[in-house]
């Protein structure tokens, strides 16, 4: 199975939305034939995790079942979300999943961020003991979507202080940090002990487009690429700005024992089965060299 040269981290991929990825046993067979070690599954992890494990692969992460309900202003909704997620975590853990992926998206992104932050802390303080009981960990990704929380060092630091549980961790995806202007290697030096899982996804920056359009407003005339904006785009590892070798060294020294999964969001490869398979294989080859 494929591993990174630095750290020996197993390489897998996140299951995408392409039609060829719908059949999990067939997808797992293709993954095995191409040297991948794990597959990240979605909010159907209570069903698909067992299929991945049965095929002889590991589950990188399973998406947590309920997201926005955990950050709802309605206390009853939050309680329901916690109960649903607790049952889901138990089912997935029994099937072989131990990392649970989430983006902290609030139900009402228009509310004040501190208010939504409080709802989030309250909900996850109730869920994290169940995760600890199941020897599972939360893997928070910092995709800066509408109203998203825990995307930056200042907000993650405060969440870990208030939630105060070793079961709370990070899904490290440097592409989001790069597009936001946050040094992904400095971030890793601070939070390496919280990393539960890695996404092998890069981001390419365009200084010329940044000059033309800036990053505070969408462009008026410039056409934006898929999986990107005027001044940046997501891409496979090795096609962007990320310093992967340095990052893997930091994780190795911090005692990280998890895996890295390629999340394929790249306009040069997405959109066809042939292109997506090629993108995953090329991403794997690059990560193996790091």
Question: With contact defined as beta carbons under 8 Å apart, do 170 and 196 qualify?
Answer: yes
> What is the pLDDT averaged over residues 187-205?
98
Q: How far apart are CA 62 and CA 60, in angstroms?
A: 7
User: What is the predicted pLDDT for the residue at 218?
Assistant: 86
277 burial via Cβ count (<10 Å: 0-12, 13-18, 19+): middle
**Tell me: the pLDDT tens digits for 213-245?**
998 888 899 888 899 999 999 999 999 999 999
User: What is the predicted pLDDT for the residue at 28?
Assistant: 97
Q: How far apart are CA 78 and CA 262, in angstroms?
A: 32
For residue 248, the domain's CATH number is 3.20.20.150
Q: Flag whether 204 is in a domain.
A: yes
More confident residue, 290 or 216: 290
Q: Flag whether 1 is in a domain.
A: no
Domain range holding 258? Answer: 11-289
User: What is the predicted pLDDT for the residue at 223?
Assistant: 86
**Tell me: the pLDDT tens digits for 109-155?**
999 999 999 999 999 999 999 999 999 999 999 999 999 999 999 99
pLDDT above 90 for 96: yes
> What is the pLDDT averaged over residues 170-182?
97
Q: Flag whether 2 is in a domain.
A: no
Predicted TM-score of the model (pTM): 0.96
Q: Give the number of domains in the chain.
A: 1
pLDDT above 90 for 187: yes
> What is the pLDDT averaged over residues 48-76?
97
User: Which residues partner with 14 through β-bridges?
Assistant: 40
User: What is the predicted pLDDT for the residue at 160?
Assistant: 98
């Amino acid at each position: 199975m494929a591993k990174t040269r630095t750290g020996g981290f197993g390489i897998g991929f996140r299951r995408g939305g392409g039609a060829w990825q719908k059949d999990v046993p067939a997808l797992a067979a293709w993954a095995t034939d191409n040297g991948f070690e794990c597959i990240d599954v979605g909010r159907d992890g209570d069903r698909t995790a067992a299929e991945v494990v049965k095929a002889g692969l590991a589950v990188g992460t399973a998406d947590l079942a309920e997201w926005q309900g955990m950050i709802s202003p309605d206390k009853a909704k939050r309680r329901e979300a916690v109960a649903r997620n607790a049952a889901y975590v138990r089912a997935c853990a029994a099937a072989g999943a131990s990392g649970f992926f989430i983006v902290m998206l609030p139900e009402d992104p228009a509310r004040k961020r501190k208010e939504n932050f409080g709802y989030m802390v309250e909900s996850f303080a109730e869920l994290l003991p169940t995760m600890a009981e199941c020897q599972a960990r939360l893997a928070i990704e910092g995709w800066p979507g509408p109203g998203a929380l825990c995307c930056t060092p200042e907000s993650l630091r405060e969440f870990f202080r208030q939630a105060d549980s070793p079961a709370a961790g990070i899904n490290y995806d440097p592409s989001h940090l790069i597009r936001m202007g946050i040094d992904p290697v400095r971030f890793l030096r601070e939070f390496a002990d919280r990393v539960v899982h890695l996404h092998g996804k890069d981001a390419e920056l365009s200084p010329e487009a940044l000059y033309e359009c800036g990053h505070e407003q969408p462009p008026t005339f410039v056409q934006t690429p898929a999986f990107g904006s005027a001044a940046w785009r997501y891409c496979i590892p090795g096609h962007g700005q990320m310093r992967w070798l340095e990052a893997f060294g930091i994780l190795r020294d911090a005692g990280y024992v998890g895996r890295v999964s390629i999340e394929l969001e790249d306009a040069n490869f997405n959109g066809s089965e042939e292109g997506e398979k090629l993108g995953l294989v090329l991403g794997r080859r690059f990560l193996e060299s790091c």
